[in-house]
Amino acid sequence: MKITAEPRSDQLNADDLIASSRIVTITGVRAGTAEQKYDIMLADETRVWRPPVTVVRILLAAWGDESDVWVGRSAELYRDPNVRFGPDQTGGIRVRALSHIDKRMSVAVQEKRGKRKMHVVEVLTDVPAPTSEVPTLTDAQIDAATTTDELRGMWSAATPEQQQRIKARVAELGES
């Protein structure tokens, strides 16, 4: 039996990368929330990646601003223990290397208010092929769910319309 310590979360977290970095392949990008603007769907991962604005700026510098172009491209993500959230040093996800860039690149990113730091991104070569695509969620699966935990697990793979359907199904289950 393989032991895992996965959090109850719909997103990839820095703690998921404590043991090693991970190469991910983007399968789609959709609007996120006000706090985290984008949900990036990944092959072989049911959770989404919600990069902070500094990482989004790196991706923009490398690949441009059309999310459709990002699909099929890969990134090596790692946990940077020096990332701060407010006064706390919490650690965060950073990009070590990217596919579809011609050469190593340096991008000036904001480290803290008023202070910028150069972030170096290497060329990602020999990208392993994903073993599967992110599973497509169907309305029938939402309708067949019998617990709110099951529905919670579907949330990150759901389209905005399906998320409304999930909310309605949660309400139905609450009435029964």
pLDDT digits (tens, 9 = 90+) for 5-39: 555 578 888 888 888 888 999 989 998 888 888 99
Whole-number pLDDT of residue 26: 92
CA-based nearest residue to 52, from 85, 25, 5: 85
Diameter over CA atoms, the chain:
58
Digit-coded pLDDT (tens) for 127-171: 766 655 545 677 888 888 888 877 877 776 777 788 888 889 889
Q: What φ, ψ does residue 84 adopt, rounded to 5°?
A: -110, 145
Please tell me the distance from the alpha carbon of residue 47 to that of residue 12, in angstroms, as a whole number.
6
Give the list of residues 6+ apart from residue 164 with CB closer than 8 angstroms, or none: none
Digit-coded pLDDT (tens) for 41-100: 998 888 899 998 889 999 999 999 998 899 999 999 999 888 777 777 778 889 999 999
